[in-house]
Structures are given as structure tokens and as C-alpha cells.
């Protein structure tokens, strides 16, 4: 049987979601044995908005040449992990715009019957992480996709406390780094998505 194909498609303004995506790419490839595509969606914000935030500007410059997501990255995959910071309890407009371009693939049924899950970050503990992931999953239902949330399928989930996906609180200065708790949750989500996709492929 061919390896499971995993696409990790994300938007990150200042780098937190980017670091989360990189961690899951490594887990998907190294721990789960998947073929992995790590793809960033294009930035939509105007230059003056990016320039107004030093962390945003620096991250934009560091990652502007990274591979950008395309519809083929979703069609190709057996499992897709979408990542976005919270924006007023919803996914960022950059990721939403990319998802909104998938209409032709949706109409052809090319987005259905795949495993999907999400990951997010916010500055505060109650900054909309759960609603962001639930809002993302509304789209997956329209795809005919299979949402594979982590639930409490491993004791480590009682440490990170998010049954809807994986998440991180960056703190009031937006600078708190990922810890072993988040790394474990991200690894678990990536491996779980690949494992469930593999079960679907083998019937």
C-alpha cells in the first residue's frame, strides 16, 4: 500500500502557527511515515499593516519564499491539517480565502472522504481557540470530509486540554514558546490523522 499523503496548510502572521505546522510535518513524516507537503497560504494584508508589527514583518520576510498552497495540495492528500491563528473566534482571512478558492474541486467531489483536522493559536486562554476550530470544521462538513479531532484519545490530551484539535496560548506579548505539552499534542494530532487516513485507504 502506498504511503498516506498528508498536507499541512496554514497561515501564520508572527510565526507561532508556522512552528506548529513544522512540528506536525516532522511528526507526520518521522513518526507516522507519511508523505508530507507543508504549505503556507499567501499573505493578503497590505504592506503597511505588516510593517506596523515587527514580529509580523520579520516572519513575513523569513517565509515569503516558502512553498505556497494550491488546490492540488488538498486534492493530492489523504489527510489535511489546516492551521490558523484565531481572528475574532474564527480562522484568519488568509486561510479562509484559500479555502474559498476550492469551489471547483468541491463541485467535482475531490475534497470528500479525506481526513481533516485543525490547529490554532491565540494570545489568551479564552481567545477563541475552540470556536476557531469549530468554525473551520463547518467547512469540512460541506466538503464531505471526515473530521478526526483528537478528543481525549490519549492521556496527554488532559494536559493540553483541547479535544477539538491542537492549540497554543502565546501570552500577552505574543511570545510564549511552544512547550513539551504542545509538542505532544501536535505530534498526537498528526499521527492520529495519518493513522485514520491509512485505515480508510486499506478499508
CA–CA gap between residue 137 and residue 160 (Å, rounded): 20
The domains of the chain are located at: 5-202
175, three cell numbers: 511570545
Q: Which residues pair with 168 in a beta bridge?
A: 121
Compute the Cα dihedral for 19, 22, 28, 29 and give only its sign: negative
Q: Helices 180-202 and 16-26, interaxial angle, to 10°? A: 50
Cα→Cα distances 166→48, 66, 99, 104, Å? 31, 23, 20, 29
Phi, psi values for residue 146, rounded to 5°: -110, 110
Give the pLDDT of residue 1: 42
Q: Max alpha carbon distance in the chain (Å)? A: 51
Alpha helices in 37-76 (DSSP H): 47-51, 54-63, 71-76
d(CA 159, CA 180): 10
C-alpha cell at 30: 518521522
Helix or strand holding residue 42 (H, E)? none
Topology adopted by domain 5-202: Rossmann fold (3.40.50)
What residue ranges of the chain have pLDDT lower than 70? 1-2
Q: What is the pLDDT of residues 155-188, one digit of tens each?
A: 999 999 999 999 999 998 888 999 999 999 999 9
Q: Which SS3 state, helix, strand or coil, does residue 13 take?
A: coil
What integer pLDDT is reported at residue 2 of this predicted model? 60
Amino acid at each position: 500500500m502506498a504511503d498516506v499523503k498528508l498536507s499541512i496548510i496554514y497561515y501564520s502572521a508572527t510565526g507561532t502557527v508556522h512552528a506548529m505546522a513544522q512540528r506536525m510535518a516532522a511528526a507526520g513524516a518521522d513518526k507516522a511515515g507519511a508523505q508530507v507537503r507543508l504549505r503556507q497560504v499567501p499573505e493578503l494584508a497590505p504592506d503597511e499593516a505588516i510593517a506596523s508589527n515587527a514580529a509580523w514583518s520579520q516572519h513575513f520576510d523569513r517565509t515569503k519564499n516558502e512553498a505556497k498552497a494550491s488546490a492540488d495540495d488538498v486534492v493530492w492528500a489523504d489527510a489535511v491539517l489546516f492551521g490558523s491563528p484565531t481572528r475574532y473566534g474564527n480562522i484568519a482571512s488568509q486561510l479562509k480565502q484559500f479555502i474559498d478558492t476550492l469551489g471547483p474541486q468541491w463541485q467535482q467531489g475531490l475534497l470528500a472522504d479525506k481526513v481533516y483536522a485543525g490547529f490554532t493559536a491565540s494570545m489568551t486562554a479564552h481567545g477563541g481557540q475552540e470556536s476557531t476550530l469549530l468554525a473551520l470544521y463547518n467547512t469540512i462538513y460541506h466538503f464531505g470530509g471526515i473530521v478526526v479531532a483528537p478528543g481525549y484519545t490519549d492521556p496527554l490530551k488532559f494536559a493540553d486540554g483541547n479535544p477539538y484539535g491542537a492549540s497554543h496560548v502565546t501570552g500577552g506579548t505574543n511570545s510564549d514558546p511552544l512547550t513539551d505539552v504542545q509538542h505532544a499534542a501536535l505530534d498526537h494530532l498528526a499521527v492520529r490523522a495519518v493513522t485514520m487516513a491509512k485505515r480508510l485507504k486499506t478499508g
